[in-house]
Amino acid sequence: MEPREEKEPCQCPEDCGEVLPKEMYLAAKHGQLKKVKEYLKKGHNVNACDEDSCSLLASACIAGHLLVVRFLHRIPQLHRNVSDWSGDTPLMHAARMGHKAVVEELLSSPHPCRLNVDVLNNYKDKAEKIALASSNADIARLIHNTQLPQLEWHPDLCHALVLPVRHPASEVSPGFTFECNVCLDEYNTKERRPRSLSCGHSICTHCISLMLEQRRVTCPLCRNVHAKRVNRATDIPVNFAIDEILQEQQQVP
């Protein structure tokens, strides 16, 4: 048997050996990102599927929860071509439901698991045909124009993932938190201090420092490169609207 070409779509396993609880399927479907993060932080398999072979990624794609999809994309062990009982992949679900932003994320996000846009479901339909049948012609065009292989996994957009670690309660109010758009860890007033990029989005100081090791700072939301060349993370202005709230939270006994 000849080895698979490195640039071919990933041949994702059919069974990861772990069953996804119904409550976690619903958490992803309802966009409960915090609950999904806590579940995975306990060591559960990101590719676990429920009794219908539906994964966290598929559930988030069905409901169009972009933030959950983006978080899952930061996990290098994620498999993105896993099909459910009907043979539908997460891309097919998003295409059928008309979630264009989710489809764009799936098609453009660099990941070790290369997406397969040509896989057939049990009805011999591809994602592009499913989009057309669901009156989502713009999504069908997106899929049709996608050129594989996709972009290589790049540390600017996805560092080797360490699932979020909770900071001391003194740093964050239990009912009011802000999270970095790269590491999805909660901002604080130290190494995770929020800073505003030229596009208007914010990420933490630590993630900017990691990006600067690659000599550029790329926004994880809009993919724009920070307009001004900087040498240190502290050269990028603080998001004072968030920072002021964090400072006040620290003063609360």
Q: What is the pLDDT of residues 160-209, one digit of tens each?
A: 333 333 334 344 444 446 788 777 778 888 889 999 888 888 889 998 88
Give the count of alpha carbons within 13 A of 241, CB side only: 5
Q: Which of 144, 166, 191 is the last residue of a domain?
A: 144
Identify the weakest region by mean pLDDT among 34-48, 49-63, 125-139, 142-156: 142-156
Domain-embedded: residue 49: yes
**For the chain, what is the domain count?**
2
Q: Average model confidence (pLDDT) for the chain? A: 82
Domain-embedded: residue 47: yes
220 vs 19 pLDDT, higher one:
19
DSSP string across 7-45: TSPP---S--S-BPPHHHHHHHHTT-HHHHHHHHHTT--
Model confidence band, residue 225 (pLDDT cutoffs 50, 70, 90): confident
Model confidence band, residue 41 (pLDDT cutoffs 50, 70, 90): confident
Q: Which of 144, 165, 197 is the last residue of a domain?
A: 144
> If you count them, how many residues does the chain have?
253
- Cβ atoms of 82 and 58 closer than 8 Å: yes
238, with CB counted inside 10 A (0-12, 13-18, 19+), is: middle
Domain-embedded: residue 238: yes
What's the average model confidence in pLDDT over 216-231?
80
Q: What is the pLDDT of residues 112-158, one digit of tens each?
A: 888 899 999 999 999 999 999 999 999 999 999 987 645 454 443 33
Q: Which of 82, 116, 144 is the last residue of a domain?
A: 144
CATH of the domain at 133: 1.25.40.20
Measured distance CA(22)–CA(80) in Å, rounded = 20
Closest CA to 234 of 200, 204, 199, 201: 204
Domain-embedded: residue 135: yes
Closest CA to 134 of 93, 105, 102, 103: 93
Confidence (pTM):
0.65
Tell me which residue range forms the domain holding 198. Answer: 154-253
Which residue pairs from 61-64 have beta carbons closer than 8 angstroms and sit at least 24 positions apart in sequence?
61/90, 61/91, 61/93, 61/94, 61/97, 61/99, 61/102, 61/106, 62/29, 62/93, 62/94, 62/97, 63/28, 63/29, 63/30, 63/31, 63/97, 64/94, 64/97, 64/99, 64/101, 64/102
Q: Is residue 121 domain-shared with residue 229, that is, in the same domain?
A: no
